[in-house]
Homo-oligomer: A and B are copies of this chain.
Amino acid sequence: MFAPEKDVQSYIHFGLYALQHRGQESAGISISDGSDIKTKKKMGLVSEVFQGDTLENLSGYNAIGHVRYSTEGDSSVTNAQPLTITCKLGKISIVHNGNLKNAKGLRKRLEEEGTIFQTTTDSEILAHLLAKSSYNNIIDGLKEVASMMKGGYTFLLMTTDRLIAFRDAHGFRPLSLGKVDGGYVLSSETCAFDTIGAEYVRDISPGEMVVIDKQGITSTTLLEPKDPSLCIFEYIYFARPDSNLIGKNVHLVRKELGKELAKESNITADIVSGVPDSSLSAASGVAEALNLPYEMGLIKNRYIGRTFIKPNQEMRELGVQVKLNPVNATVFGKRIILVDDSIVRGTTITNIIKTLRDAGAKEVHILISSPPVKFPCYYGIDTSSCGELIASKLNVEEIRTEIGADSLQFLSIQGMVRAVERVPGLNENTGYCLACFNGEYPVTEED
């Protein structure tokens, strides 16, 4: 966020609350008053990282913030963002969303050239590339090195007096531009704009770079745009329901996914429920289309913190389940249609089905508001969770048996795209990355 007449610290802080669902492992803010960049980052939720006096010492008109997704391997403050470095281009802070597909190759090459790595983040790769560019200004440097980075990503960089953002050539990961009084703000999701009272302006285009400073905003084509390929999983699972991506509202898309799913299905049941929270919109779409009662079949405990000590195996066998409880009265004796957004490994849904049966459900029919996830993602979704994709090993009937459902139906790829396209948006010719469903990856190593 860049707004010369404001102290942007509170805006960034509240904006991170709005984006907290995108990452709960660590949070950080870099902020500049025009003369120096200060960075604070720590493990934990935004509410844990920025307490009382932590924010006191942060003020300025130019800032970036980040919440990090908890992946297995590298859970430490070292990898928390923003990454702030000093190099021949001065002091720079960097955050990113997404993944470099060729990160491994770039790291190897850089290491061979004598580079040291202190983190395992892609932001550090960009920092090295920039510092080694043949230019002595950051804009030209970015132009030189951007094409070396393959994959699906958005980057935000700040110097003491400039804010820079760019998006990969396919536009895999979302990035929107908003306006506040006297300045601009960039965010992965538009819900952050609503939270801080900013006005949505437009999405950053694939391959576009914007530079914001006291002179205003300028736009450049950093990378020749390729076929637009917005990650469709943002609609299905990642984004907050009140966000809009290329103008299409996430809740409305999910509801259409539910309606389309109902159309493709021919299940008879007594009630429809969704797995909270991400599947509730789709479930209400299914209920509406099938004209069945939409019920609260499961309830999620809102008070389970990051440090929650889970029940052990023995206690779970004795029926202890703290995170998700069935609403027995709703479920008992009923034929239930349970809507979930996706099946990745299949363990969660297996537990839920068992829970519902224990609570007396007569039949449990699973409707999934996306197609089977068969292929790993190279553009920003945690690949560790894609490592054991149940749908890459089993067919639908085998999955049904494995998870213990009375029936199981996935939305078709065509149905999914149809549903998304039905919702009005701003950029009707945008395509979607469907690689995790159909294996057609828009980016190749040689790309």
Given contacts A45-B303, A51-B307, A249-B327, are A17 and B191 in contact (CB under 8 A)? no
In the complex, whether A413 has a CB less than 8 A from a CB of chain B is no
In the complex, whether A293 has a CB less than 8 A from a CB of chain B is yes
User: Which residue of B53, B198, B307, B330 is within 8 Å of A47 (Cβ)?
Assistant: B307
State the CA gap A55–B311 with chains docked (Å): 13
Interface residues of A in 193-222 (CB under 8 A from B): 194-198
- Tell whether, in the assembled complex, residue B311 and residue A251 are in contact, meaning their CB atoms are under 8 Å apart: no
- Tell whether, in the assembled complex, residue A117 and residue B249 are in contact, meaning their CB atoms are under 8 Å apart: no
**A52 partner residues in chain B, CB cutoff 8 A:** 52-53, 307, 309
Given contacts A14-B311, A45-B305, A327-B249, are A111 and B85 in contact (CB under 8 A)? no
In the complex, whether A322 has a CB less than 8 A from a CB of chain B is yes
In the complex, whether A302 has a CB less than 8 A from a CB of chain B is yes
A253: nearest chain-B partner, CB-CB: B329
Q: Which of the candidate stretches A95-103, A239-247, A361-369 sits at the interface with the other chain?
A: A239-247
Interface residues of A in 221-251 (CB under 8 A from B): 240-242, 244, 249, 251
- The 0/1 profile, CB within 8 Å of B marked 1, for residues 262-295 of chain A is 0000000000000001001100100110000111
A binding-site residues for B, Cβ under 8 Å? 10-11, 14, 17-18, 20-21, 24, 39, 45-48, 51-53, 55, 77-78, 83-88, 111-112, 114-118, 124, 127-128, 131-133, 181, 191, 194-198, 240-242, 244, 249, 251-252, 255, 277, 280-281, 284, 287-288, 293-296, 299, 301-305, 307-309, 311, 315, 318-322, 325-330, 359
